[in-house]
């Protein structure tokens, strides 16, 4: 006996897949950090998206690779531009919560044509960033479905 679930139960397993079981650690920067430092941070942390937070660590923005690239083209003083000037900001940020399903996340990623979502906890006076969901997390979940069943 393989210990794997029958193929017929794939649908049930899929619906049961939650953000909390597949999320990654978020990488955040403060609003006043320069575009130059954000680029260094993105490379050092090996992520494609940085989340921007205020002094109380609440989510205020998102920085993608192309946001940083766009600003870098023809700009020589990247160390003088704070990230809050170029980031995508609240309330235009698409996010998810720990208890959401991966299917909900996958749909948001596709509909908005973005690579990642911050996983947040609503503290009442702001959104605390507690995780990161990317297309890679969805791909890992896809593989785990196959691994858990007789596929």
Distance CA 132, CA 49 (A): 9
The answer to the question of residue 64 lying near ligand ADP (CB under 6 A) is: yes
Place of tokens 């600003």: 71
Site size toward ligand ADP (CB under 6 A) is 14
Q: Which helix (H) or strand (E) holds 108?
A: helix 102-112
Of 93, 119, 127, 141, which lies in the binding site for ligand ADP, with binding defined by CB under 6 A? 93
For residue 12, the minimal CB distance to ligand ADP (Å) is 29
Greatest extent of the chain over all pairs of C-alpha atoms, in Å = 63
114-133 positions binding ligand ADP, by CB under 6 A:
114-117
First to last CA, the chain: 14
The answer to the question of residue 83 lying near ligand ADP (CB under 6 A) is: no
Of 41, 58, 65, 84, which lies in the binding site for ligand ADP, with binding defined by CB under 6 A? 65
Write the interaction track for ligand ADP spanning residues 3-42; mark x where CB under 6 A is met and - where it is not: ----------------------------------------
Distance CA 46, CA 33 (A): 18
CB of 26 closer than 8 Å to CB of 132: yes
By CB under 6 A, name the binding residues for ligand ADP. 49, 62, 64-67, 88, 92-94, 114-117
């Amino acid at each position: 006996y393989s210990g794997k679930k029958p193929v017929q139960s794939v649908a049930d397993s899929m619906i049961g897949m939650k953000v909390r079981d597949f999320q990654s650690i978020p990488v955040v920067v403060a609003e006043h950090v320069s575009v130059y430092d954000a680029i260094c941070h993105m490379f050092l942390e090996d992520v494609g998206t940085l989340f921007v937070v205020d002094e109380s660590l609440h989510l205020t923005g998102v920085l993608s690779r192309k946001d940083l690239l766009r600003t870098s083209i023809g700009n020589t003083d990247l160390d003088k531009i704070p990230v809050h000037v170029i980031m995508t900001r609240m309330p235009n940020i698409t996010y998810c919560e720990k208890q959401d399903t991966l299917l909900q996340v996958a749909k948001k990623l596709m509909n908005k044509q973005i690579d990642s979502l911050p996983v947040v906890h609503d503290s009442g006076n702001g959104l605390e960033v507690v995780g990161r969901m990317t297309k890679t997390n969805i791909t890992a979940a896809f593989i785990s479905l196959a691994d858990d069943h007789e596929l």
